Amino acid sequence: MRGSLWQLGQSITRRLSQADKKAVARRYFASEADLKKTVLFDFHVAHGGKMVPFAGWSMPIQYKDSIMDSTVNCRENGGLFDVSHMCGLSLKGKDSVSFLEKLVIADVAGLAPGTGTLTVFTNEKGGAIDDSVITKVKDDHIYLVVNAGCRDKDLAHIEEHMKAFKAKGGDVSWHIHDERSLLALQGPLAAPVLQHLTKDDLSKIYFGEFRILDINGATCFLTRTGYTGEDGFEISVPSENALDLAKAILEKSEGKVRLTGLGARDSLRLEAGLCLYGNDMEQHISPVEAGLTWAIGKRRRAEGGFLGAEVILKQLAEGPSIRRVGFTSTGPPPRSHSEIQDEKGNNIGEITSGGFSPCLKKNIAMGYVKSGLHKAGTKAKILVRGKAYDGVVTKMPFIPTKYYKPS
């Protein structure tokens, strides 16, 4: 889904307050019958969730509070997100690591069991098919989550390469976890609230680590990760237990952790400088251009062995022609596709995500500019509705991350 979710949420809120609500509802929710629903759909609606189409699903963009308030509350207290539209899957077999390494840039073999990393599935030209968080559960079991909007193409891509790999005698199989739901609990209260619901000591699980454990009476896959820049967890729970878990989390937080929608999720990830696939990463953008060089394992830089490695290793050696950077700006918030110019009016790039930061109370954005113009402090002009406004290249993340790491 292109464009800002925050922008869509604001648009729906405005229209619902200004116009004939039934007419607006028809326009935005006309295809509701065709949309998939998570097991928490009725729970969202009962809590005032404004449901919108997203990647083929009916998802809450916000609840009764504003996207601004919801974003701030997640950073100050906590937010609970239903992200069950995303696709979790497991690869199993003694060759699952070597198989996956043909498709992603990560040093999967180098991961210790129970740890994971952000990675990118690449194509033959070095472009990004999708980004994903992958975890080595054991040497013969990989768990990964791919984006909802990329599910069909990702699964087709993995399956095509798996068939060829198995035909040559490789031992790998997969299971798509459609029997599970996925909840993200983010913010400073995430750990203390979740600790009430499990006997395992969460203080011993650090950022990027994975465990299979009992939470609220259900066997869950727990990863200490998220998409907000805050400490938090993604919890894969059997779908029949998802509603009870969501209720228990909200209850144990005594109202401080709130249900939080996709609108605030978009604001939070932008403040954290994180990419949204389809906006900030696409098939023609490489991990090097996207600023994800750190995700290319040291061994992989030396050996290659993944799709598009020749292009990516050349970019590592010579530098990419464009780079993803952050911006702050004056005037109206920049949006996806806003043109970036130098001070003489020459085109130097394009905004891919932008909005008003609820926590910083100013415009923030990210986009791609020509190499050499990517240094922090570089002044630029950003075009919004045909008018140029002052912008400056700014280091990301815009808000410091608070990941839970060993001290």
Taking the CB of residue 167, how many other CB atoms lie within 10 A of it?
Answer: 8
The answer to the question of whether 254 is labelled as a binding residue is no
Report the amino acid identity of residue 346.
Answer: N
Q: Mapped to the 3 state alphabet, what secondary structure does 36-80 carry? A: ECCCCHHHHHHCCCEEEEECCEEEEEECCCCHHHHHHHHHHCEEE
Cα separation of 340 and 374, whole Å? 12
Cα separation of 7 and 387, whole Å? 19
Tell me whether the omega of the peptide bond preceding residue 334 falls within 30 degrees of 0, making it cis. Answer: no
Give the CA count within 13 Å in the CB-facing half-sphere of 362: 12
Which residues sit in the known binding site for substrate? Answer: 234
Which residues sit in the known binding site? Answer: 234
